[in-house]
Chains A and B, each alone.
Chain A
Amino acid sequence: MSASAPTMKERQAALKGLGTSRKRVEDARFTQGKGNYVDDIKLPGMLYGDFVRSQHAHAYVKSIDTSAALALPGVIAVLTAKDLEPLNLHWMPTLAGDKQMVLADGKVLFQGQEVAFVVAESRYIAADAIDLVQVEYEELQVLVDPFKAELPGAPVLREDIADATEGAHGPRRHPNHIFTWEMGEKEATESILDSAPVVAEEMVYYHRTHPCPLETCGSVASMDKVNGKLTLYGTFQAPHVVRTVASLLSGIAEHNIRVVSPDIGGGFGNKVGVYPGYVCSIVASIVTGLPVKWVEDRMENLMSTAFARDYWMQGKIAATEDGKILGLWCHTTADHGAFDACADPTKFPAGFMNICTGSYDIGTAYLAVDGIYTNKAPGGVAYRCSFRVTEAAYFIERMIEVLAIKLNMDAAELRLKNFIRKEQFPYHSALGWEYDSGDYHTAWNKALEAVKYTELRAEQAEKVKAFKAGETRQLMGIGLCHFTEIVGAGPVKNCDILGMGMFDSCEIRIHPTGSAIARLGTISQGQGHATTFAQILASEIGIPADDITIEEGDTDTAPYGLGTYGSRSTPVAGAATAMAGRKIRAKAQMIAAYLLEVHDNDVEWEVDRFVVKGAPERFKTMQEIAYASYNQAIPGVEPGLEAVSYYDPPNMTYPFGAYICVMDIDVDTGTTSIRQFYALDDCGTRINPMIIEGQVHGGLTEALAIALGQEIAYDELGNVKTGTLMDFFIPTAWETPNYTTDYTETPSPHHPIGAKGVGESPNVGGVPCFSNAINDAFRPFGLTHTHMPHDHWRIWQTANKLGLHD
């Protein structure tokens, strides 16, 4: 070998494959302002749509007079439910088996509901026309409290299904009741609760909030009447599903619909659902024959598209006196708003809430979830979350703390005592999951050591002493959290959305000169797929990541996939990418063997080439093989080098992490200051550490927002009180701390490269960690639990109730 030939290590490094902190290929266009987001799309003759929305939370719509609006120059059309009814588009199916009004059909059920759709030549004219649409309402009694939904005298919200005793998820016991979902063993759990030496009980509320990506939702529909083709651009986290739904709804054959997700300015679950704006832009384009753009403003976004959480979780946890957990019981009252539009796999009306036994070996458990209608916006999306995993993690991580208080035990020790042990994996949980792999004790101990936990507790005790002596008005809270996620939905046998199995896909084409393009069924919203999927492939097929283009989001070119949410891209599409790569490599092996004139089995893979066993100087690189695949007639081998893989995961993946937060709290002003946040994540095999760290920073900051103030709040009349970014809390750089990240690496045994997914971990684990810190600060003064969001006044109120202002 010549001296200048690169070593194996150098060749490996040149690939920028798995484990490399490769810089992002997306950044060139984003940093130069050349991203292409929905509102950047401008088509010839394009019209603008905008909604007339209800100011009432519950009212009959007596009449809609559009004449003045239509008379305004520049107004092309005003659509109401009456116009959509002949097309059967005045209602649409939701992802949860319910249906939702596209435009108010006789009544409105939440403030901000879509009543009429104005189409005009400009945004400005559309806005003027909205003011001219006269809607006459008859106000009805408003229901905002889910616990009052089934009381005598409660207003019936969904009169369309008032008499239906059977819903999409089983029997309904009241017109405002949607479903009851039960998992685990009720009687066995209750009998443990009856006989256990220690039982702790708490109502844990995870308040209503909203994903609020910086870019709101929007679409541009363009009906080409000449060719009968509909093109729909939009903020879609699942473009293929949107195509199928659009076809089913509109009657346009699926091959005549092209759905394109351009660059997406953050999703966080907000862009999974199908919204009336999308439907109306399509109808308006069909009606006018011109492209129609709809982009919601921030108030509309917060008021109408996809809230998250709103779970009231009543918990009971039983243990021995020395802290071995015996059983867990949970009843959840789920406020779903006016339509059940939860974005969950069909068979999981409460998502994966049944991961609520968390990281602990709990032999017996029971979970029931009641879905309830209220006069609030529909949604229930997984906000940086895999289908209610955030709620589950918050619940169990609060219950552990509550139990620790009851046992008068250190909460870190209680966790250590109950973790599922390494040798128990694969572990079958009491609520029906098979945890793939984990090593919780190692992660936990590493975290405790990293923050010097014992010293922190000693410092905290000193601080309490000083507080009691009147020397300080500050308390110190130590927030602990060990979470286990369930992501990567999911196996087709039990996971589908609107009947579509939740597999995902990757199609690869190797070009003659040895570069490649890969297309996937997912769609990046900031996760950096174009960077990381190329890294997976680089390691699989030995072509440098820099020579691989990744393309997503165009249903005309990408293979069918279920999209990006629930941390499913790496576990599912990432697996499909590796598997498709392996098909490429298998074919490449035959080509290499042919070129090297040996038997297929006599060559072996080495970084970026096939080498003749025992003769390292005889090899063919992937570049050579790619070229040969296009220009040589190889007996028994088709020309070209392409592969496609549709990957149906055999199981979910179970990322986990250990987070610790140290916070100082001023009891008089309720203000908080985060002194330290340590986040250890185990997401299995690490594809790009730089991107993982970025995901963790971002998810923790979203968690910080949720825990410390971010909420969608309603008054008793159903008015949204937090409709702008003045009141809907998003921290700035000033309120956000620096985070310390760390990791352990426990690969998934069933994933082709062992990766588990990470995007949502920091939100899932971050929220309980921040909240536990607040609760922990007040533990020495007798607090068991206080609800989020922990904004200044609620913290003050907690201190006040504990007599700390006396």
Chain B
Amino acid sequence: MTTTTITLNVNGKSVETTIEPRELLIHVLRDRLDITGPHIGCETSHCGACTVDIDGRSVKACTLFAVQAQGSDITTIEGLGDPDKLHVLQEQFKEHHGLQCGFCTPGMITRAHRLLQENPNPTEEDVRFGIAGNLCRCTGYQNIVKAVLAAASEINGAADKEATRESAA
């Protein structure tokens, strides 16, 4: 059995791990690095529960060998906000009841985060299209969409205020 050592920058922390090349990123994160936020739902890249952010791209970690992520910056749900200061998406998912069993939530929020980075002013249609790689069995998506739109407007509201303050100064 050949193994190889890879370095990943996970949630801002550089980690080294020795693995078989065939190990899927989702298993390396969950089983070796104890990052259990991203989940395994379908294993065929249809459900998005395993979504993580790699170098600014939303990726399904069940369909990527960890060696393919060698040297990459990986952000998982654990890297978005912390207990003292939740990410605005985390807050809005709670506020709008955008989750029930919670199993899809880490992937969903991680994906929504990237979506808002790329499109800070999405329409409802943009959000629905943008999160279509993530399945949810509980919510019917309606409140997820609401939460993402609310997060966008909160981020934009904060940005507007910031801009106003700067222009005032």
Contact, CB under 8 Å: A123 / B105: no
Q: Which residues of B contact A690 (CB under 8 A)?
A: 97
For window 98-126 of B, CB contacts with A under 8 Å fall at 99-106, 109
Given A27-B94, A298-B44, A730-B137, verify A34-B37 contact (CB < 8 Å). yes
Q: In the complex, what residue of chain B is closest to A734 when comparing beta carbons?
A: B132
Given A31-B93, A214-B49, verify A528-B103 contact (CB < 8 Å). no
Per DSSP, chain B at the interface is loop
Contact, CB under 8 Å: A212 / B137: yes
Given A39-B30, A526-B101, verify A32-B138 contact (CB < 8 Å). no
Q: Which residues of B contact A123 (CB under 8 A)?
A: 27, 31
Q: Which of these, A30, A40, A299, A738, contacts B99 with CB under 8 Å?
A: A30
A618 → chain B closest CB, angstroms: 41
Q: Which residues of B contact A19 (CB under 8 A)?
A: none
For window 694-713 of A, CB contacts with B under 8 Å fall at 694-695, 697-702
Q: Which residues of B contact A702 (CB under 8 A)?
A: 137
Q: Which of these, B39, B40, B43, B99, contacts A27 with CB under 8 Å?
A: B99
Chain A CB within 10 A, most for which of B23, B42, B43, B106: B42
Q: Which residues of A contact B142 (CB under 8 A)?
A: 697, 736, 738-739
Does A26 reach chain B (CB closer than 8 Å)? yes
Q: Which stretch from A106-114, A264-272, A427-435 is at the chain B interface?
A: A264-272
Q: In the complex, what residue of chain A is closest to B49 when comparing beta carbons?
A: A214
Q: In the complex, what residue of chain B is closest to A704 when comparing beta carbons?
A: B140
CA distance A739 to B145 in the complex (A): 13
Does A225 reach chain B (CB closer than 8 Å)? no
Q: Which of these, A28, A298, A734, contacts B41 with CB under 8 Å?
A: A298
Contact, CB under 8 Å: B145 / A733: yes
CA distance A31 to B135 in the complex (A): 16
Given A525-B101, A528-B100, verify A124-B77 contact (CB < 8 Å). no
Contact, CB under 8 Å: A697 / B137: no
Contact, CB under 8 Å: A265 / B140: no
A4 → chain B closest CB, angstroms: 29
Contact, CB under 8 Å: B137 / A298: no
Does A33 reach chain B (CB closer than 8 Å)? yes
Q: Which residues of B contact A40 (CB under 8 A)?
A: 30, 36
Q: Which residues of A contact B23 (CB under 8 A)?
A: 124
Does A726 reach chain B (CB closer than 8 Å)? yes
Contact, CB under 8 Å: B36 / A526: no
Contact, CB under 8 Å: B22 / A694: no
Given A214-B101, A525-B101, verify A266-B127 contact (CB < 8 Å). no
Does B76 reach chain A (CB closer than 8 Å)? yes
Q: In the complex, what residue of chain A is closest to B92 when comparing beta carbons?
A: A31
Contact, CB under 8 Å: A264 / B101: yes
Q: Which of these, B27, B94, B138, contacts A31 with CB under 8 Å?
A: B94
Q: In the complex, what residue of chain B is closest to A384 when comparing beta carbons?
A: B137
Contact, CB under 8 Å: A268 / B140: no
Does B65 reach chain A (CB closer than 8 Å)? no
CA distance A198 to B69 in the complex (A): 69
Contact, CB under 8 Å: A37 / B103: yes
Does A527 reach chain B (CB closer than 8 Å)? yes
Given A214-B49, A214-B137, A734-B128, verify A32-B97 contact (CB < 8 Å). no
Contact, CB under 8 Å: B102 / A739: no
Q: Which residues of B contact A298 (CB under 8 A)?
A: 41-44
Contact, CB under 8 Å: A32 / B81: yes
Q: Which residues of A contact B135 (CB under 8 A)?
A: 214, 725, 730, 732
A interface size (C-beta, 8 A): 57
Contact indicator per residue, chain B 22-51, by CB within 8 Å of chain A (1) or not (0): 110001001100111111111110110100
Chain A CB within 10 A, most for which of B31, B38, B40: B40
Contact, CB under 8 Å: B140 / A33: no
Q: Which residues of A contact B128 (CB under 8 A)?
A: 732-734, 736
Given A32-B86, A527-B100, verify A24-B41 contact (CB < 8 Å). no
Q: In the complex, what residue of chain A is closest to B141 when comparing beta carbons?
A: A733
Given A24-B94, A694-B143, verify A35-B42 contact (CB < 8 Å). no
For window 132-155 of B, CB contacts with A under 8 Å fall at 132-145
Does A599 reach chain B (CB closer than 8 Å)? no
Contact, CB under 8 Å: B105 / A30: yes
B interface size (C-beta, 8 A): 60
Does A263 reach chain B (CB closer than 8 Å)? yes
CA distance A729 to B112 in the complex (A): 23
CA distance A216 to B103 in the complex (A): 11
Contact, CB under 8 Å: B137 / A33: no
Contact, CB under 8 Å: B140 / A214: no
Task: How many A-B residue pairs have C-beta atoms within 8 angstroms? Tell me.
Answer: 178
Q: In the complex, what residue of chain A is closest to B94 when comparing beta carbons?
A: A27
Does B78 reach chain A (CB closer than 8 Å)? yes
Contact indicator per residue, chain A 290-314, by CB within 8 Å of chain B (1) or not (0): 0000010111000000000000000
A455 → chain B closest CB, angstroms: 25
Given A694-B139, A697-B139, A697-B140, verify A263-B102 contact (CB < 8 Å). yes
Chain B CB within 10 A, most for which of A691, A736, A739: A736
Contact, CB under 8 Å: A698 / B139: yes
Contact, CB under 8 Å: B145 / A35: no
CA distance A35 to B22 in the complex (A): 27
Q: Which of these, A31, A42, A725, A736, contacts B105 with CB under 8 Å?
A: A31
Does A213 reach chain B (CB closer than 8 Å)? yes
Q: Which of these, B37, B82, B103, B140, contacts A700 with CB under 8 Å?
A: B140
Q: Which of these, A266, A295, A527, A698, contacts B140 with CB under 8 Å?
A: A698
For window 405-428 of A, CB contacts with B under 8 Å fall at none
Contact, CB under 8 Å: B77 / A33: yes
Q: Which of these, B46, B94, B101, contacts A215 with CB under 8 Å?
A: B101
Does A724 reach chain B (CB closer than 8 Å)? yes
Contact, CB under 8 Å: A724 / B44: yes
B78 → chain A closest CB, angstroms: 5
Does B20 reach chain A (CB closer than 8 Å)? yes
Contact, CB under 8 Å: B139 / A732: no
CA distance A35 to B106 in the complex (A): 10
B87 → chain A closest CB, angstroms: 8
CA distance A456 to B136 in the complex (A): 32
Given A214-B135, A730-B135, A734-B132, verify A694-B100 contact (CB < 8 Å). yes
Given A27-B99, A33-B106, A527-B100, verify A214-B27 contact (CB < 8 Å). no
Contact, CB under 8 Å: A30 / B102: yes
Q: Which residues of B contact A733 (CB under 8 A)?
A: 127-129, 131-132, 134, 136, 141, 144-145
CA distance A264 to B83 in the complex (A): 22
Given A39-B39, A215-B41, A733-B127, verify A725-B47 contact (CB < 8 Å). yes
Does A23 reach chain B (CB closer than 8 Å)? yes
Q: Which residues of A contact B83 (CB under 8 A)?
A: 28, 32
Q: Which residues of B contact A525 (CB under 8 A)?
A: 101
Q: Which residues of A contact B31 (CB under 8 A)?
A: 42, 123
Q: In the complex, what residue of chain A is closest to B104 when comparing beta carbons?
A: A214
Does B160 reach chain A (CB closer than 8 Å)? no
Contact indicator per residue, chain A 728-762, by CB within 8 Å of chain B (1) or not (0): 00101110101100000000000000000000000
Does B90 reach chain A (CB closer than 8 Å)? yes
CA distance A213 to B137 in the complex (A): 6
Known: A24-B94, A33-B37. 5 other contacts (CB 8 A): A30-B105, A31-B109, A33-B36, A212-B137, A299-B43
23 sample A-B contacts, Cβ–Cβ < 8 Å, listed by A number? A23-B94, A24-B94, A27-B93, A31-B90, A31-B93, A31-B94, A33-B78, A33-B105, A213-B103, A215-B103, A266-B100, A266-B138, A299-B43, A526-B101, A526-B102, A526-B138, A698-B139, A725-B44, A732-B132, A732-B134, A733-B136, A733-B141, A736-B128
Listed in ascending order, the chain A residues whose CB lies under 8 Å from chain B are 23-24, 26-35, 37, 39-40, 42, 123-124, 212-216, 263-266, 268, 295, 297-299, 525-528, 690-691, 693-695, 697-702, 724-726, 730, 732-734, 736, 738-739
Listed in ascending order, the chain B residues whose CB lies under 8 Å from chain A are 20, 22-23, 27, 30-31, 34-44, 46-47, 49, 76-78, 81-83, 86, 89-90, 93-95, 97, 99-106, 109, 127-129, 131-145
9 closest A-B pairs by beta carbon, nearest first, are: A33-B37, A30-B102, A526-B101, A265-B103, A697-B140, A33-B77, A526-B100, A701-B140, A725-B46
